Amino acid sequence: MISTRFGVVVSLLLAVAALASAIVAFMSTVRDDGPTRGRLVQSQITNEYDGAPVIFTIDDFFIGRGTDSVLHAFYVYPPGYYGHARGCRLVWDPAATVATPAGPQGPGLFVDPCGGARFTRGGKLVSGPADHDLDYFATSAAVDGTVVDTRRLLCGAGIVSSATPAEDEPTPTPTPEPGTKTCDRVSPDTKRP
């Protein structure tokens, strides 16, 4: 009789401990949406990684080596209306190519499936309706990979227009150097397709 009660109590305690562990594990994956959104994310991607960009869906970024041989962490939402207003996410298309005046770009491009913009592995806009290069997060090397700082979203380089504005148009403001301006994130209540 005593052993049956003891077994039930032990089973109940183990079930409560398992539930508590599950809650702690879940809460550690939830982003902080307070005043300083984001966190430091440790990835297992090292400087030797040369494969396709890897998506981190919980933290909203792709990480991969650009054509400049540097690891980049790009925000999953493309700049402009389709990404930031509609919440459309980028996809990596390993076979995509685009013909440009500077020569063909690709194979392998980030594609905005809603607006049609195309970006290189290094985040440069090569075609489509985006207003600047991909927004990104700062990265730093760590012992076991790369750390991505998702607390601050940095704006991609702006598109410089060679056209002279008409007399009735305002003079465009100069685009700040990449990495100096913090961009807004997609609102949590944006509907994602």
83 residue type, one letter: G
* CA–CA dist 63, 45 (Å, integer): 8
* CA–CA dist 50, 65 (Å, integer): 6
Q: Would you say residue 11 has pLDDT above 80?
A: yes
Is CATH 2.102.10 what the domain over 36-186 is classified as, yes or no?
yes
Question: Which range is least confidently modeled, 14-18, 93-97, 138-142, 184-188?
Answer: 184-188
Longest dimension (CA), the chain: 95
70 residue type, one letter: V
pLDDT of the residue at 191: 47
pLDDT of the residue at 176: 42
Contact by Cβ (8 Å): 31, 58? yes
**Does the model's pTM come out above 0.85?**
no
If DSSP codes are grouped into helix, strand and coil, which group holds residue 164?
Answer: coil
Alpha helical stretches, state H, 76-156: none
Domain ranges, ordered by start, for the chain: 36-186
Provide, rounded to the nearest whole percent, the portion of the chain with pLDDT above 90.
26
Q: Around 3, how many Cα atoms within 13 Å sit in the side-chain half-sphere? A: 0
Instruction: With cut-offs at 50, 70 and 90, classify the pLDDT of residue 75.
Output: very high
Of 138, 119, 139, which is closest to residue 129 (Cα–Cα)? Answer: 119
Of 74, 156, 81, which is closest to residue 115 (Cα–Cα)? Answer: 81
Average pLDDT score over residue span 2-27: 78
Task: Write out pLDDT tens, residues 28-57.
Answer: 555 545 555 678 888 888 878 888 999 998
Q: Would you say residue 23 has pLDDT above 80?
A: no
